[in-house]
Amino acid sequence: MTLKVYLSGEIHTDWREEIIAGCAGLDMAFSAPVTDHAASDDCGVAILGPEDSKFWHDHKGAKLNAIRTRRSIEQADVVVVRFGEKYKQWNAAFDAGMAAALGKSLIVLHGAEHQHALKEVDAAALAVAERPEQVAQMLRYVLEGRLPG
Amino acid sequence: MTLKVYLSGEIHTDWREEIIAGCAGLDMAFSAPVTDHAASDDCGVAILGPEDSKFWHDHKGAKLNAIRTRRSIEQADVVVVRFGEKYKQWNAAFDAGMAAALGKSLIVLHGAEHQHALKEVDAAALAVAERPEQVAQMLRYVLEGRLPG
Amino acid sequence: MTLKVYLSGEIHTDWREEIIAGCAGLDMAFSAPVTDHAASDDCGVAILGPEDSKFWHDHKGAKLNAIRTRRSIEQADVVVVRFGEKYKQWNAAFDAGMAAALGKSLIVLHGAEHQHALKEVDAAALAVAERPEQVAQMLRYVLEGRLPG
Amino acid sequence: MTLKVYLSGEIHTDWREEIIAGCAGLDMAFSAPVTDHAASDDCGVAILGPEDSKFWHDHKGAKLNAIRTRRSIEQADVVVVRFGEKYKQWNAAFDAGMAAALGKSLIVLHGAEHQHALKEVDAAALAVAERPEQVAQMLRYVLEGRLPG
Amino acid sequence: MTLKVYLSGEIHTDWREEIIAGCAGLDMAFSAPVTDHAASDDCGVAILGPEDSKFWHDHKGAKLNAIRTRRSIEQADVVVVRFGEKYKQWNAAFDAGMAAALGKSLIVLHGAEHQHALKEVDAAALAVAERPEQVAQMLRYVLEGRLPG
Amino acid sequence: MTLKVYLSGEIHTDWREEIIAGCAGLDMAFSAPVTDHAASDDCGVAILGPEDSKFWHDHKGAKLNAIRTRRSIEQADVVVVRFGEKYKQWNAAFDAGMAAALGKSLIVLHGAEHQHALKEVDAAALAVAERPEQVAQMLRYVLEGRLPG
Amino acid sequence: MTLKVYLSGEIHTDWREEIIAGCAGLDMAFSAPVTDHAASDDCGVAILGPEDSKFWHDHKGAKLNAIRTRRSIEQADVVVVRFGEKYKQWNAAFDAGMAAALGKSLIVLHGAEHQHALKEVDAAALAVAERPEQVAQMLRYVLEGRLPG
Amino acid sequence: MTLKVYLSGEIHTDWREEIIAGCAGLDMAFSAPVTDHAASDDCGVAILGPEDSKFWHDHKGAKLNAIRTRRSIEQADVVVVRFGEKYKQWNAAFDAGMAAALGKSLIVLHGAEHQHALKEVDAAALAVAERPEQVAQMLRYVLEGRLPG
């Protein structure tokens, strides 16, 4: 059966494309949050009307995005969460917490500089990788049982 | 029945004591992570033996702490997550994600400076407060139906 | 074991008191929403600060009340939902839907004039009563196996 | 994967058709209650035989309709509940309660005149819209990540 | 989506064929227990080896049949349970209990002579019919919203 | 912790008393359906008003009894179901099905004459006994680890 | 619907091929752990980098394999667990425990020499077989209702 | 709240007593399987009557013991599984699998000689210890947040 993979977290590099390319030819279906930053921030007010307060502006957008995000996590077999070099990225950690509580297989992807700060998230994961290529290799191994090289 | 409240997140100020004091006399039971920073960081190797690698040092500690943390979240009626001014605090956002996925009532506590970065977490909450005093007032209202003042 | 009963719905007559009095001496624990109408409407802004928009004013209050309401429904063995003569009372029907989805034993209490409009709610209930006294008699029967009179 | 959407509530205007048309070309599957009012009211007795009492007449029909309704809600990713201008519409609020308890993404659709009366239902929703067109725009955004216009 | 229907109970008349024929052309998938009485009774020992004791002979068979039965109930949207005129048929009532506990839509099919003895089973059902034709009409109505005739 | 045991099924002999007496002094809590046959049959109409039709008369009673029965099964650690010598006892088999689907430990109690007819129910049980005394011995063993004699 | 079968346990004989061949032509989908022993042992370090300690070497591999294993068990209708003649095979018993807790239909396959040591595992199974051929016959019977020969 | 700990596995050394003694004075409740080997093996036939076949002799006993074991695992916050030096101990690994599938915090206790064979079980655990004293220290830390020494 198709392996369903949700690619959560950082949206400013092309790590998703790298993983998807690395899994070419395999029976997998990838999903992701909306990665158009502007659309993601403004979707709520763009469709449902403007808000004076920044809090409610963001609130309407975050809730609309949650329809997509939660569905993707709930339907996924594997949730990959990527922490990049910048920003707070609390939504990434939040997604990881949801994935863990729902019993999803969690893979965390981050650089060594975040190791200590992410130790609780890593502790809930079935794998911790540093490079997208490793994630693709793992997904391939999970489906086909063959190691790279 | 006793209202069970888990106080997750920041461990460097006395916000927990403030909430607990503000709820004095009410039928509530509070739980919290281990807030002794050194013990929390080193518990794994202190009990189970040292590790050469910092990753596995942290891993053993984070997993041992998870026994306490997950039980507390699973047993709670309300999960309060506090984001302080410093640090990445990804474990706080991770706890919030677990609480949301488990259907717990989530209250988020943070300063206005984190509003945009926490919009996804706030969107999953039933209340967003700026001061511990407000959390105590809400918990009192939830139990007794009386407003402050 | 203590029979836990949540009394949802109409807040302008004393039907809750009537049921509780009718069950005096039995091992039951009753819970209810906040029935102080003004406090219930304004709790959000009173604690968390004012809103310019009526929608968000109500939203903050409704979410805070949901902490109490959902916990009560989740912990209840029996959910009694009362529809009075006035108002839309959509929150009562909403509570009934939650109770049904959670597999709670549902008792609906309403006058004959609402029979047709409530047919979907009644169809999910284990009993439909017209008077609070009947609810007390049923709860007593459920616990003790004895019929009235 | 196909986005499954249940369109619950008001049956006297063409809001369902408007949403479905607005989502033309997208990978979505829509379901709805039986919107033939007479069939919906009489289905129980028409198939299973007549009843003397109006209560049981309605009861048989409401239960038969529940086979369709509950399956639709349980299978849906998104539940849209529309409150029109007339009638009690308690079944709509009941469906919303079921959707909330089952963790479905809930979208509520109603005019401004119902804002206060629906505050508890709105508080459980991920979006509150006034026009069917907005619902179609949101569903499109959830699937494709593109904003209208 | 395909409506999945499990036809449980009596195996000595052709009621299953009647329902299936009555639903011809509809998007439904029917399942049933093994209705070859001898195979059903002896399957355990036929495959796994003989038993001296009648109890274990039956036990091995009943467990093997349970693989099919439970899967069918768990996958079904609707469980139809037929009680015929003869035999104890405790397995039919057992299936009905499983269906009810799993939240399946339950339809019970029996003659008037069993009305009192089946009142607890009927009370858990969404419909009680006397003739297979009525079940087919209901399933058609659930899928298409059209009444017979 | 207290072992919670629900004693379902036959109500015309004193098998419940025998088991309870055999477990004297142990930390157990027993529950049972209403065993006053007349009260159990008529409870619905006695409290909620008469019905012309026998079906609805029984229906109202069976639903009211279900409040007690389902709560008892859901709260039980062990469900004991007794099949006596007479009657259809479909409600006993229905309770056994519910217990099995909810993952409860099921003990079935019946005479050898019902062995073949009860093979599906027995196949779902963790023990099949012929005498109440055996049930008491098993419950004692489960709690204390000591065998009789 | 396709019968999904997970073949867990011993990886040194061709029992999986025997079962699959015995089910040729039937609507079944088989899954299995990675049966390339070397790949299975080293997958973690091969992809994610070497470890000095044997414990963490194995840990990384076992967790990566768990992504495949748990998904297979969760998606399966039937879990077949084979205990061979050699090795501890604790992972096979672990898989059986997971399958039992998740309510999967469990078939255990082992020689008579392991009967006593496997009695707790066998007690949770719906069938205990000695030869792969018997498993194929059972799966065929479950799907088609026909006995061999 | 009382920390509930189930001590599963090896029954020939006093490791349970050591842990319980090491946790003296703490708010914990320990449970365990029946550790009287003879009683555990023969309980089924001692109460329910003899069997000619060793398989069914063991089967009846294993099922009766399962009433105690599963209840203990389901009620536990922490499941500790001890693998000793001898025997197959498949029931210990089976319990670990159940605990993992139910989301329990799992602690595995075994000597270094079993490290490779237990890698899948260890990979599902939150801690792997070699000595009972370490388990007591961890349980104390989980409850009180204080490290030994």
Q: pLDDT at position G149, please?
A: 80
Beta strands in H41-123, from DSSP E residues, in sequence order? 78-83, 105-110
- With CA atoms as reference, report the closest residue to G123 among E59, A64, B98, A145: E59
In angstroms, what CA-CA distances link E52 with E45, E57, H49, H53, H56?
A: 10, 7, 16, 9, 11
Question: Cα angle at G112 between G111 and G113, to 5 degrees?
Answer: 90
Ramachandran assignment for E111, one of left (phi > 0), alpha (psi -120 to 50 degrees), beta (any other): beta
Chain F touched by E93 (CB under 8 Å): yes
| Token reading at F121 | 């129910």
Q: Does A63 touch chain C (CB under 8 A)?
A: no
Residue G77: half-sphere exposure toward Cβ, Cα within 13 Å: 22
Subunit contact D48:E145, Cβ cutoff 8 A: no
Residue of C nearest to A60 (CA): C56
Q: Which of B1, B77, B146 is facing C39, going by the closest CB pair?
A: B146
B: neighbours with 3+ CB pairs under 8 Å?
A, C, G, H
Residue C144 makes CB contacts below 8 A (sequence gap 6+) with C26
Q: Tell me the domain boundaries of chain F.
A: 3-37+77-144
Which residues make beta-bridge pairs with D69? Answer: none
E80 touches chain D (CB under 8 A): no
Test A90 with B101 for CB contact under 8 angstroms.
no
B116 vs A: CB within 8 A:
yes
- Specify the pLDDT at position F124: 98
Choose the closest CB to B67 out of H142, H146, H149.
Answer: H142
Beta strands in F15-61 (DSSP E): 28-31
More confident residue, C83 or B87: C83
Of D4, D47, D75, the CB nearest to E138: D47
In this complex, the residue of B134, B143, B145 whose CB is nearest that of residue C47 is: B134
- The Cα–Cα gap between A73 and B104 comes to 18
Residue from the list C54, C63, C122 with its beta carbon closest to the beta carbon of D123: C63
pLDDT the model gives residue G37: 95
Chains E and A physically touch (3 or more Cβ atom pairs below 8 Å): no
Residue E29 has a pLDDT of 98
| F48 contacts in chain D (CB < 8 Å) | none
State how far the Cα of H83 lies from the Cα of B58, in Å rounded to an integer: 26
- Is the pLDDT at G103 greater than 90? The verdict is yes
CB atoms H89 and G90 under 8 Å: yes
Q: How far is B56 from chain G (nearest CA, A)?
A: 8
Is C127 close to F64, i.e. CB distance below 8 A?
yes
Q: What does pTM read for this prediction?
A: 0.98
In angstroms and rounded to an integer, the radius of gyration of the C-alpha atoms of chain D is: 16
Q: State ipTM.
A: 0.97
Selected residue of E58, E69, E87, E90 to mutate for chain F interface (largest F Cβ count, 10 A): E90
**Do residues A94 and B122 lie in contact, with contact meaning Cβ atoms separated by under 8 Å?**
no
pLDDT recorded at residue A1: 84
H146 lies within 8 A of chain B by CB: yes
CATH topology of domain F3-37+77-144: Rossmann fold (3.40.50)
Kindly state whether B138 is in contact with chain C, defined as any CB-CB distance less than 8 angstroms: yes
Residues 6+ apart with CB under 8 A from C38: none
CA pair distance F103, G100, nearest whole angstrom: 10
Query: Per the CB < 8 Å rule, is G56 touching B56?
Result: yes
**What confidence tens digit (pLDDT) does each residue in E1-32 have?**
899 999 999 999 999 999 999 999 999 999 99
The pLDDT-based confidence of A93 (bands split at 50, 70, 90) is very high
Any chain D CB within 8 A of the CB of F50? no
Chain B residues inside the 8 Å CB shell of G56: 53, 56
Q: Distance, in angstroms, between E6 CA and closest chain G CA?
A: 13
Burial class (CB in 10 A: 0-12, 13-18, 19+), B37: exposed
Residue E59: closest CA among chain H residues belongs to which residue? H56
Confidence at residue E143, expressed as pLDDT on a 0 to 100 scale: 97
- Tokens 């070699």, located at residue: H130
Set of chain C residues whose Cβ sits within 8 Å of the Cβ of B133: none
Are D123 and C59 in contact, with CB atoms under 8 Å apart? yes
User: Do A29 and A2 form a contact (C-beta atoms < 8 A)?
Assistant: yes
Contact G80, G109 (CB under 8 A): yes
Q: Do F94 and E93 touch (CB under 8 A)?
A: yes
Integer-rounded Cα Rg, in Å, for chain G is 16
**pLDDT by residue, tens only, chain C of 149 residues:** 899 999 999 999 999 999 999 999 999 999 999 999 999 999 999 999 999 999 999 999 999 999 999 999 999 999 999 999 888 899 999 999 999 999 999 999 999 999 999 999 999 999 999 999 999 999 999 999 999 98
How close, in Å, is residue D117 to chain C by CA atoms? Answer: 7
How many Å from the N-terminal Cα to the C-terminal Cα in chain B?
25
Q: Which chain G residue is nearest to residue A124, measuring alpha carbons?
A: G63
Cβ-based contacts of G114 with chain H (< 8 Å): 88
H or E stretch including H60? helix H54-75
Percentage with pLDDT > 70 across chain B: 100
Residue A94 has what pLDDT?
Answer: 98
Q: Which chains touch C (3 or more CB pairs under 8 A)?
A: A, B, D, F
B112 interfacial to chain H (CB closer than 8 Å)? no
- CA–CA dist E10, E6 (Å, integer): 13
Any H CB within 8 A of F26 CB: no
Q: What is the pLDDT of residues H94-140, one digit of tens each?
A: 999 999 999 999 999 999 999 999 999 999 999 999 999 999 999 99
Task: Give the rounded distance of the alpha carbon of A128 from its chain centre.
Answer: 14
pLDDT of residue C72: 98
pLDDT in tens, E93-113: 999 999 999 999 999 999 999
| Cβ–Cβ < 8 Å for C108, C127 | yes
Paired residues of B48 in beta bridges: none
State the count of interchain CB pairs (< 8 A) between A and D: 57
A119: contact with B, CB 8 A cutoff? yes
- By CB atoms closer than 10 A (0-12, 13-18, 19+), residue H63 is buried
**DSSP string over chain E:** -PEEEEEEE--SSSHHHHHHHHTTTSSEEEE-----HHHHHHHHHHHH---SSHHHHHHHHHHHHHHHHHHHHHH-SEEEEE--SSS--HHHHHHHHHHHHTT-EEEEE--GGGTTTTHHHHHT-SEEESSHHHHHHHHHHHHH-----
Nearest one of B126, G34, E63 to A141, comparing CA atoms: G34
